[in-house]
Amino acid sequence: MHFRYLGNSGLKISEITYGNWLTHGSQVENDAATACVNAALDAGITTFDTADTYANLKAEEVLGDALAGQRRESLEIFTKVYFPTGPKGPNDTGLSRKHIMESINGSLRRLRTDYVDLYQAHRYDYETPLEETMQAFADVVRSGKALYIGVSEWTAEQLRAGHALAKDLGVQLISSQPQYSMVWRVIEEKVVPTSAELGISQIVWSPVAQGILTGKYLPGSPAPEGSRAADDKGGAQMISGMLGREELLRRVQDLRPIAEGLNLTMAQLAVAWVLQNDNVAAALIGASRPEQVAENVAASGVTLDQDVLTRIDDVLGDT
Ligand code: NDP
């Protein structure tokens, strides 16, 4: 496993990081969740990402149980705040000081830890003054409950404003967590250049496009049994937009000879691809089975040369 610095901080994280959205506490039984976490640890992953909203609080609990007994100093544990998790009272959502302060305590309890390494704003809150949000995050850091601050799916302008306020408050906003894969490249235009300028890294989610880039979804065929798209607990809904695009699925199949020519699986090619971007600190993978973790982690350290990158662009075009 290779490690990268997160933003301009001294924190190193495993360049392949394990996340438990849609799996722990939902699609996957607890034993299988623990097996995936153990496979991640065996493969050298030290960085784990979750959110209070995943499986409505259960994902944090399952991850906390699976990591119990591990040496805390050897792990980087990340979680997020923003979405409501239980009763939808007026203060149960967003990035107000009240919601942040109450949410961090619940997350630490469920994760069975005294602190998280990174506390992330899961989305931008258009209703709370950014000054209030950043002050609350800074106070969470000062209280020792989080070491660093990150955000998720913020625009370049929002990153710039949040970063400046954090700096004034003496805390580090070091990461952005956006969707990024061969078939979802929106961040390249503004978020990546702005982040690079500010010393912020990307921790990119869905690097295999929720399974699409493994090549297992074939155009015109039903989703394979046991896959996220066939799952009835919520996953299918999230992936269905891409599954409806037959041309995309056809082109993905054309990536197979490129992967095979490099002795990689298609999943490994997809994970390696996001890691070629210097502003990416980690590919944030999900898995429903331990074998997927072992397979995908082998992408760590793989270099794709310019010729390969160009062939991939040619295959996918502007899909
Ligand atoms: P991926 O793109 O890695 O998709 C993971 C899923 O793809 C697996 O659960 C599995 O699903 C399938 N898969 C992965 N590898 C293989 C393989 N080798 N062979 C076959 N199938 C495979 O990422 P996710 O969409 O799971 O997201 C990863 C993490 O990113 C989340 O856990 C979360 O931490 C974070 N995230 C953050 C968001 C944000 O807003 N900040 C939003 C979404 C995710 P199956 O076996 O069921 O088909």
Residue 104 is assigned to a structural domain of this protein: yes
184 lines ligand 1 (CB under 6 A): no
Helix (H) / strand (E) containing 266: helix 266-275
Residue 221 is assigned to a structural domain of this protein: no
Distance separating alpha carbons of residues 172 and 181, to the nearest angstrom = 26
Residue 289 CA, closest ligand 1 atom number: 46
Residue 287 is assigned to a structural domain of this protein: yes
CATH of residue 19's domain is 3.20.20.100
Residue 65 is assigned to a structural domain of this protein: yes
Residue 242 is assigned to a structural domain of this protein: no
Residue 177 CA, closest ligand 1 atom number: 41
Distance separating alpha carbons of residues 275 and 139, to the nearest angstrom = 33
pLDDT number for residue 236: 67
233 lines ligand 1 (CB under 6 A): no
300 lines ligand 1 (CB under 6 A): no
**d(CA 212, ligand 1 centre) in Å:** 10
pLDDT number for residue 235: 67
Domain membership of residue 132 as a residue range: 3-209+277-302
Distance separating alpha carbons of residues 143 and 210, to the nearest angstrom = 36
Residue 202 is assigned to a structural domain of this protein: yes
Residue 251 is assigned to a structural domain of this protein: no
Cα–Cα distance list, 186 to 30, 268, 290 (Å):
34, 21, 30
pLDDT digits (tens, 9 = 90+) for 11-63: 999 999 999 998 888 888 889 999 999 999 999 999 999 999 998 999 999 99
- Which residue among the candidates 54, 124, 148, 180 is catalytic per the annotation? 54
pLDDT number for residue 241: 80
Count of structural domains within the chain: 1
Residue 77 is assigned to a structural domain of this protein: yes
**d(CA 205, ligand 1 centre) in Å:** 8
pLDDT number for residue 24: 82
Whether ipTM exceeds 0.90 = yes
pLDDT digits (tens, 9 = 90+) for 234-255: 666 778 788 888 899 999 999 9
Query: Which residue of 18, 58, 205, 233 sits with most ligand 1 atoms within 8 Å of its CB, as the best mutation to test the pocket?
Result: 205
Which residue lies with its CA nearest to atom 27 of ligand 1?
Answer: 206
54 is catalytic: yes
Grade residue 87 by pLDDT with cuts at 50, 70 and 90: confident
Distance separating alpha carbons of residues 278 and 263, to the nearest angstrom = 23
